[in-house]
Amino acid sequence: MNKALFVSSFQRTAKLYGIFTALILFYLIVIIGMYTSSVEADPFEMLPEGMKDAFGLGAGMNGLTGFVASSFYGVSFVIFMMILCIMAANQLMAHLVDRGSMAYLLSTPVSRRKIATTQAAVLITGLFALTGIALGAGLLAAPLLAEQAEFDRHAFVQLNVTGFLLFFVISGYSFLFSSLFNDAKHSLAASGGLSVLFYMIHLIGNMTDNHEWLDYLTPLSLFEPAAIAAGEVNVALHAVSLGAAGIALYASAVYLFSRRDLPL
């Protein structure tokens, strides 16, 4: 990894990470603040059962941890982080090739492998920092905004760790596409299209038991916020699976970038 490049790239993506950090913290704190009123009236009561099941709102709503898991981590967190992964990965690799900036980087003594590894480290560090901030904010806000609520801190930590590993995978294939395409638009289309496909498959799989086999087609099936909050998931197994997949994707991206032809 190249320290100067890491600092420079992190500074260029800091604004993007800052915007999404603010969005995630805002929604998380609002959801925690809504819990007291939700005890008396379910805010999702008017939704059809099929839609509740699709978005993971039909179970695990008991207690503050279950409410936050279903209301925030099941929908908003996934969508926000998915978009961030796609945009940040594209900015760190394909955007540089598209604009011609990669030619200047490769004219330095820094190897392709080191450049790709450094950019990957920037992406992973940003996601890790954002998830850590969300974890800290949740642990601090829960006792302040919902004093009498039952809050399982251990389950909340598991939610954030598994969430980070899910986006380790999503950012991994986004980074892979960004390393393979010369055009930033093609990179965005590929990673965005695959993410939308995964999300739609996940929704369909949740809506009916007849499509459980769809769970094998998307990494989103390994992140079940309501079930994690209820203690119904083997978190360690899911974490290992996601971690291994993410490492494989990033390693493939670095290797392929170091071997491919670039229009420089």
- pLDDT for 122 equals 95
- pLDDT for 45 equals 52
CB 113 within 8 A of CB 56: no
Residue entry with tokens 């890491």 = 6
- pLDDT for 200 equals 87
Residue 178 is assigned to a structural domain of this protein? yes
Residue 200 is assigned to a structural domain of this protein? yes
CB 73 within 8 A of CB 235: no
| Nearest CA among 144, 124, 149 for reference residue 229 | 149
Low-confidence ranges of the chain (pLDDT < 50): 40-41, 47-48, 50-52, 54-55, 60
Residue 18 is assigned to a structural domain of this protein? yes
- pLDDT for 203 equals 79
CB 198 within 8 A of CB 219: yes
HEC string of the chain equals CCHHHHHHHHHHHHHHHHHHHHHHHHHHHHHHHHHHHHHHCCCCCCCCHHHHHHCCCCCCCCHHHHHHHHHHHCCHHHHHHHHHHHHHHHHHCHHHHHHCHHHHHHCCCCCHHHHHHHHHHHHHHHHHHHHHHHHHHHHHHHHHHCCCCCCCHHHHHHHHHHHHHHHHHHHHHHHHHHHHCCCHHHHHHHHHHHHHHHHHHHHHHHHCHHHHHHHHHCHHHHCCHHHHHCCCCCHHHHHHHHHHHHHHHHHHHHHHHHHCCCCC
- pLDDT for 60 equals 45
Q: Note the pLDDT tens digit of each residue in 94-151.
A: 888 877 777 777 777 878 889 999 999 999 999 999 999 999 999 998 888 877 677 8
Residue 89 is assigned to a structural domain of this protein? yes
| Nearest CA among 191, 138, 145 for reference residue 160 | 138
Residue 103 is assigned to a structural domain of this protein? yes
Cα–Cα dist 178/42, whole Å: 42
Residue 264 is assigned to a structural domain of this protein? no
The residue segments making up the domain with residue 204 are: 3-259
Q: Note the pLDDT tens digit of each residue in 52-65.
A: 454 455 554 568 88
Residue 224 is assigned to a structural domain of this protein? yes
CB 66 within 8 A of CB 60: yes
Residue 28 is assigned to a structural domain of this protein? yes
- pLDDT for 54 equals 47
Query: In the chain, how many domains are there?
Result: 1
